[in-house]
Chain A
Amino acid sequence: MPTTLDDWNPGKAQDHHPEATYEEKERLFLEVKNDVRYKDFIYGCYECGICVSACPSARFYDFSPRVIAQAIAREDVERVYDIITEDIWNCAQCFSCVRCPRQNNPGGLVTILREVSLKNGLQESKDALQGYSRVIYKVMLKGNQVSPDMLQPDFFPDWGPWVQNFSQNMHVWRKAIPMDSIRGLTDVAWRTDRKTLLELYTIWFESGNMDIIKELDESLYDLLTEVMQEELEEG
């Protein structure tokens, strides 16, 4: 059937996610738009594609920082919802896209979209972060993102026999490091004062960070809250 002027509308919003109402999608978009950083990250889009040419994820996934910048600049509520539910976890967060001649920051927009997604408990984000909770536990409680004891063959089989060798020798290798702040530690990357950790816990509670964790993983939230509150009460 030939296309007529009545049905030819390339900019027409398409509803790929009827499970969510337009009002819900609009509410999420407004949360993104109200983020304090929003106006620093989007200034419009030339559609030049420089961001895509530099993007590692665009080479390996059906992912485009240009589409993200475009959809947000046009305030295309339906398309932004597609992006939140389908695209954001493919971004490598390298910020190669900030070579944008309009000074857009598509990687920064992805960061805001991820935050909004988590705060609103979207299932797609919970799925993308499956297996990641132990890292959140470590960084929020110990103040280090990674630790030597995370290097186990079960978790890093693709890193080869080195991991097996390391895990067998971890305790003695860790003692053979000249830095006082590291030597001998296996469950944290470096030695952190108790007072420092209590200050970190204060930040998590006071900044609203714990609300995000509650939406992401309720059992992780319960565990972290119990441990951190107990420590804070002890002082």
Chain B
Amino acid sequence: MTELTTVEQILERKSHPVVRDASAAPTEDMHDRLLELEAKGEIILQRIKGDYVEFPTKYGRMKKIPIEHTWHHKSCGHCGHIPGYASSILWLHRQFNLDYNDPTDQTSCTGWNYYASGASNAVGQAAVMSRNFAAAYETGYFPMIHCGTSFGHYKEIREQLVHHKELRDEVRRILDKMGKPLVIPEEIVHYSEWVYAMRDRFAERQLVDMSPITATVHPACHYYKIVAEDAIYDPEIYGGQRTAVVTALLEKLGVNVADYSTWFDCCGFGFRHVLVQRDFTRSYAVLRKIETMINEANPDLTVTHDTGCVTTLDKSQFAAKAHDRKVGVPVLSDAQVAALAMGAHPFRVVQFHWHSTDWRPFLEKLGINWQKYWDEFQGDLDQIRAGTKSGITWQDADTPIKLAG
């Protein structure tokens, strides 16, 4: 008779780190196919120049993460509605004098629209990605993708281009009209992978004690569910059972990371829903995520690594108050947390004022006198209104400050 598998046996098995074997992966890794296409002259494979670090992905392939000379593929949602997300990523680069390119020859991946409306097609989406990659290649900088959806979307398009010659031919025909080659980078890199790679160096320069904080992590669906084999997993984090980015950073900074049962659930963004059918978005974000986090972990903060997740989890909490739901957990990205820990100005850099769930108790728990920095920022705004200052520049924002105490 077969021995029954008990819950205890399953938990015991899951308590051991997963041993990865890339050759036994259940999904196909297409990096060798990229080399073949390059050898045939079908594509240009852009290589990482300069320093990089390698980390294991879900099934054990080692992924190269460039440290600098990166072309920052910005996110519509960051730059439009949460600008402190994007400015924190660049501020972190500037703290270490890492060379980067903040391009204006970049369009949105248009993936949010595609997932929301279907009003495009495989050729159009692949051509948009390829145009952006060709633009990065022309500068000599390596693409670093800020948006989780752009990252997932581009990974999927890369697979489609590898598998379908007719798609490559059609995209190449369109790129020819712009005088651009078909370029695919050797790795598609998400900024949170760079944050993960840099976490030790961030901790060395940490100015704020983060140990009073308990945080939950929402891993972004499009980071690790689309083309699942190309996301970073670390045996030291969750035994290698979940993606390591975000959590590894928080642990390194001394944040107490608390678990909750619905970690795998999406945030409720829904792409179309968040724009024109937010009853679903609000309900899902509050009932399945925020309330569950509060009931099970009572966090001071929840941290994620994608545009839509920050927006959805943060903005959905207001209306739920009318229904007496448990809400009130501020939401930040990993990059914002790292910047804050290293002394980034809460308003000039992290731009807390773009977040709607009350973040003041979180800053107070860290011992940060947010009012002092808000007053300072109001002084900046007064000067801008008076026309004596055109705007805040990196010169105003670069220097770290001792925020706490």
Contacts and interface: CB of A to CB of B under 8 A. Distances in A.
Nearest to B107: A143
Main SS of the interface on chain A? helix
A60 B121 contact: no
A151 interface: yes
B122 A182 contact: no
A160 B318 contact: yes
Interface in B288-345: 288, 315, 318-319
A20 interface: no
A143 B159 CA distance: 24
A206 B266 contact: no
Contact of A209 (B80, B124, B268): B124
Contacts of A184: 391
B79 interface: yes
Interface stretch (B8-16, B84-92, B209-217, B364-372): B84-92
Contacts of A37: 122, 160, 164
Contact of B77 (A96, A146, A178, A207): A146
A56 B118 CA distance: 19
Interface string B348-366: 1101011010000000000
Contacts of A56: 265-266, 268, 270, 284, 288
A189 to B, nearest CB: 4
A191 B86 CA distance: 14
Contacts of A111: 114-115, 118
A27 interface: no
| Chain B interface bracket (under 10, 10 to 19, 20 to 34, 35 or more) | 35 or more
A96 B384 contact: no
B174 A203 contact: yes
A208 B276 contact: no
Main SS of the interface on chain B? helix
B244 interface: no
Contact of A145 (B26, B77, B166, B283): B77
Nearest to A134: B275
A35 interface: yes
A59 B288 contact: yes
Interface stretch (B38-46, B220-228, B232-240): B220-228
Contact of B266 (A92, A139, A147): A92
Contacts of A96: 221, 225, 264-266
Contacts of B156: 108
Contacts of B152: 95
Contact of B104 (A92, A136, A196): A196
Interface stretch (A7-15, A66-74, A112-120): A112-120
Interface stretch (B127-135, B191-199, B200-208): B127-135
B205 to A, nearest CB: 19
A40 B158 CA distance: 13
A37 B397 CA distance: 46
B61 interface: no
B60 to A, nearest CB: 18
Interface of A: 35-37, 40, 54, 56-57, 59-61, 89, 92-96, 98-99, 103, 108, 111, 114-115, 117-118, 125, 128-132, 135-136, 139-140, 143-148, 150-151, 156, 158-160, 162, 166, 169, 172-173, 175-184, 188-193, 195-197, 199-200, 202-204, 206-209, 212-213, 216
